[in-house]
Structure 1
Amino acid sequence: MAQNPARRTALADAAIEVLAREGARGLTFRAVDGRAGVPTGTASNYFASRDHLLHQAARRIHERLTPDAAILAELLRAPRDRALVTALMHDVFRRITADRAGYLAMLELRLEATRRPELRAQLTGTIRDDLEANIAYHLGEGFPGDRETVLVLYLAMTGLILEHLTLPEVLGVDGLAALIETVVERIVPAA
């Protein structure tokens, strides 16, 4: 197995692009090599199997969607109130729409997980752990609301993002910022 970390990351990024454009069925080593602009056979030198490639793509998507530490630190200078939760949800929406391919690839991985038990176990564990970490962070930081607040906010934002990235004409692009504010206002209690 080849061990160049920068090339492995580039191949995982190429796999994400292939997933977003072609779906899980289009994800082949040859397609990843082509997207990455490397010689045929390169991806198979870095990933032992297609399942391994899927797992690494999932891991890379989470890295790509991680909040920027400087932006997060700036946002967290504000009081722990509904306005801050709104700002954080705007940041989530901004990050995900900025990496549309990453989120669409994650949706493809979720669909593929319905057919692949190992992938389902991995994604379930990762997403559950992330959700639990977000709940713990919300409660630990003293944001308004409780565990259910975070769960309902997660579900509402996931639905909003899904609509926007897959069928943007359903909601339109005008008014999305106001819609995010409404979601937070309806779910997160006032301080």
Structure 2
Amino acid sequence: MVRNPERRTALVDAAIEVLARDGARGLTFRAVDEAAGVPKGTASNYFANRDDLLAQVTGQIHQRIAPDPDEVAAVMAAPPSRELVVDLMSWINRRVTANRTGYLAMLELRLEATRRPELRTELTRTLRATLDDDIRFHLDSGLPGDRTAVQLLHLAMTGLMLEQLTLPGVVPTEQTEGLIAALVERAIGPDPEGAP
């Protein structure tokens, strides 16, 4: 059977919605068919099994939550500084809020990976490559802070995202900007004497 690539993409996008809404246990072919608005049995024609569907979701979700290169260029128009790092972390935080479904689905994938070794291997590879790209971007852009600082920022921002997506009352929204600024200062250190 010839398969329609647009329909496959629509099914994977529907799977991301189901994953975010119902969790990994709710991710069934029937639920994906319903979310995509296609006839019953469609998803099973496109994916060999649930592991295949999860692998496709893993690949697609990064494209869905990746920033637009023009947005990155706009944020990076300012000269490298600690203030720019704060702006970048705040921008990332706003992106998580704006794409809540994509990030919730990613959290569900992480949890499911604890039970599925193949998914764990693929997700680890993908997220490790993303972290390496982020470190390289930070260092190549001349932003203050070394590799360890970038890793600390990544880990702390991941924790903040987890709180905001799952239990938003733990860290009230009005506190996040100040916490992000304090996080950056502590991770990369204060500006040198006489810096603007």
- Same-fold status (TM-score > 0.5): yes
- Shorter-chain TM-score category? over 0.9
1:164 maps to 164
1:34 maps to 34
Of 174-183 and 127-136, the range deviating more from structure 2: 174-183
Q: 1-side partners of 2:174 and 2:144: how far apart?
A: 28
Paired-residue identity, %: 60
| Conservation of the 8 A alpha-carbon contact between 1:2 and 1:45 | no
Q: 2-side partners of 1:91 and 1:116: how far apart?
A: 33
User: Paired residues, what number?
Assistant: 191
The answer on 1:123 being equivalent to 2:127 is: no
Give the structure-1-normalised TM-score: 0.95
Name structure 2 gaps, 5 residues minimum.
Answer: none
2:9 maps to 9
Which residue identity lines up with residue 48 of structure 1 in the other structure?
Answer: A
Give the structure-2-normalised TM-score: 0.92
Q: 2-side partners of 1:34 and 1:142: how far apart?
A: 48
2:152 maps to 152
CA shift digits 1:116-173 (9 cap, x unpaired): 0000000000000110111111111211111100100000100001001100111122
Q: CA deviation at 1:178?
A: 2.1
2:89 maps to 89
SS in 1 for 2:173: coil
Name structure 1 gaps, 5 residues minimum.
Answer: none
Label 1:118 to 1:147 Cα distance change in 2 as closer, same or farther (>3 A): same
Q: What do you get for the CA RMSD once the two structures are aligned?
A: 1.3
Q: CA deviation at 1:108?
A: 0.8
2:101 maps to 101
Segments of 4+ moved more than 4 angstroms: none
2:62 maps to 62
Q: 2-side partners of 1:46 and 1:183: how far apart?
A: 44
1:24 maps to 24
Q: 2-side partners of 1:94 and 1:12: how far apart?
A: 24
